[in-house]
Amino acid sequence: MNLKFFRAVLLIKLVFVTCAFSQRSTARFLLWQPSARSYAMGGVGTALSDDATATYYNPANIAFLPGKNVVVSYVKPFPFFDNTHHSYAALTFPVQDYGTVGIAYNRIWREPQFSSSIGTLDAEKPGFFTPTHWVVQLTYAIQLNRLFSAGVNLGLLKQNYMNLQVSIEEGKGKPVSLSAGVGLFGKGLFSKATYYHVMEQDRHSFFDRIAIDRDSRGVTLGLALMNAGPKVTVLDAERKDPLPTTLALGISYLPLVMDDLEVLLAADLVNQLYDAAFLEYAHLGAEIRLLRFWAIRLGYFGDTSAPKTSYYTYGGGFRCKYFTFNIARYNRSLLSTWHFDATLSVEM
């Protein structure tokens, strides 16, 4: 089964990488990650399956989530633009004998803005407009066996710019489109590569962790094609821009699991199919869990096409069996950004 998984990884890469060409994509907000935990670890996530934010990184990852899982995330992506907001909310729940279903809402918006442009403004509030972009996604994942899973998602995407009228080009600037994603996920590979020493009587305690499962030890692999869909027209019907389709390969490794110490290493390689670079981003991250419920995270968000925009990340979190709170700090823009998320998990 492991050989089949690696063959699938290679096949998908060979098929989709040939689609890459130099063309700027639209709806770039789809690249803004929702998970504070992932951001604190440099942006990794394709091979992580801890909460409902997995709906964003790899649809196959939610197949192994226990019970119902709810996550909300909030960040002001540009501290110097205090009126810009990014939020994410997701719910995952198992359907007995049929797999796991996820619903996610991803939105970026700015508070109402005044415009003195000559162009046509929003008729509902003359002189003001509210730039808003959002996508609603439905995800389905199924376990192929106790170690491997596959998943798909479908999304409805809307971008909401102010109304524009530029020379002979005229449009409302509110395009609607569809997006799709597919993913593969495999865990428990080379499980003996993890040093594991946990008291069995603590396995179902209040501070239980997913990583305590035998099948989660060793190496985990993830492969995801995300944001695929038809090209989008904003103004000129003859000019269509693609969505920021990405192909990501992720790996995580759990070298150490003990009662009061746990170490996780992870990396993602991301290719944007409609950009010229063969490898767009390289994400590297590490997580250390102390005393069962505290986490310290470090990472590096590498932009291979523009190295000067790469940055280091760090953060932390608190985690028990039913609740998680994460915080990340990174310097993506001119000023540092704080990122928060919270997760509620109920096993039913």
Q: Chunk the chain into consecutive blocks of 10 residues (it has 348) and report each block's average pLDDT, rounded to whole numbers.
A: 48 38 66 92 94 94 92 82 84 93 91 54 48 91 96 91 49 77 96 85 52 76 95 72 92 93 96 81 96 92 83 93 89 78 76
Pairing, β 246-258 against β 195-197: parallel
Q: How many Å separate Cα 283 from the centre of its chain?
A: 12
114-150: pLDDT as tens digits: 555 544 444 444 444 567 889 999 999 999 999 999 9
Q: Are 34 and 56 in contact (CB under 8 A)?
A: yes
**What does the DSSP 8-state code read for residue 123?**
T
Q: How many Å separate Cα 286 from the centre of its chain?
A: 17
Q: Determine the length of the chain.
A: 348
Q: How many Å separate Cα 118 from the centre of its chain?
A: 38
Pairing, β 311-319 against β 132-143: unpaired
E strand or H helix that includes residue 5: helix 2-17
Q: Record the pTM.
A: 0.81
Partners of 266 in the β-ladder? 252, 285
Residue 334 is predicted with a pLDDT of: 64
Q: How many CB atoms lie within 10 A of CB 222?
A: 29
Q: Which of 60, 34, 35, 37 is nearest to 47 (CA)?
A: 60
CA distance 31 to 29: 5
| Token pair of 182 as six digits | 């597919």
The half-sphere exposure of 53 on its side-chain side, counting CA atoms within 13 A, is: 29
Which domains does the chain possess?
A: 2-346 (2.40.160.40)
